[in-house]
Amino acid sequence: DGGITQSPKYLFRKEGQNVTLSCEQNLNHDAMYWYRQDPGQGLRLIYYSQIVNDFQKGDIAEGYSVSREKKESFPLTVTSAQKNPTAFYLCASSIPRDGQPQHFGDGTRLSIL
């Protein structure tokens, strides 16, 4: 079945450490997205990519980095510059034009040790 796979489900980070969250999709979607969700809040866009080797910052990109070397993959790195990284991270994909919904993975919960 087609879908979006995020790994790991739970991740712990030490202070000053970079960590990378994986997102893979087999839906053949051109566009992929990373969102952050804090407790009791909606989702906020970190980065998005409409095509391989191209990506744009969302509303809260500071302290994060991404790459898009393959259509299927859009990994997110949470750097040590992100001072409050504890959150639930969700990856999504879509066909990037009007009339096409976003589909989401099951998320990764990141916590600071």
Partner 1 sequence: GIQVEQSPPDLILQEGANSTLRCNFSDSVNNLQWFHQNPWGQLINLFYIPSGTKQNGRLSATTVATERYSLLYISSSQTTDSGVYFCAVGPTGNQFYFGTGTSLTVIP
Q: Which residues bind partner 1 (CB under 8 A)?
A: 31, 33, 35, 37, 40-45, 48, 50, 58-59, 88, 90, 94-104, 106-107, 109
Cβ atoms < 10 Å from Cβ of 40: 5
Of 16 and 101, nearer to partner 1 (C-beta) is: 101
**Shortest spacing between CB 19 and partner 1, in angstroms:** 18
Of 16 and 99, nearer to partner 1 (C-beta) is: 99
Contact of 83 with 63, CB cutoff 8 Å: yes
Of 58 and 80, nearer to partner 1 (C-beta) is: 58
Question: What whole-number distance in Å separates Cα of residue 87 and Cα of residue 35?
Answer: 10
Secondary structure element (H or E) that encloses residue 45, with its range: strand 43-51
**Shortest spacing between CB 106 and partner 1, in angstroms:** 5
- Residue from 24, 6, 21 nearest 77 by CA: 21
Of 7 and 17, nearer to partner 1 (C-beta) is: 7
**Shortest spacing between CB 39 and partner 1, in angstroms:** 11
Question: What whole-number distance in Å separates Cα of residue 17 and Cα of residue 78?
Answer: 9
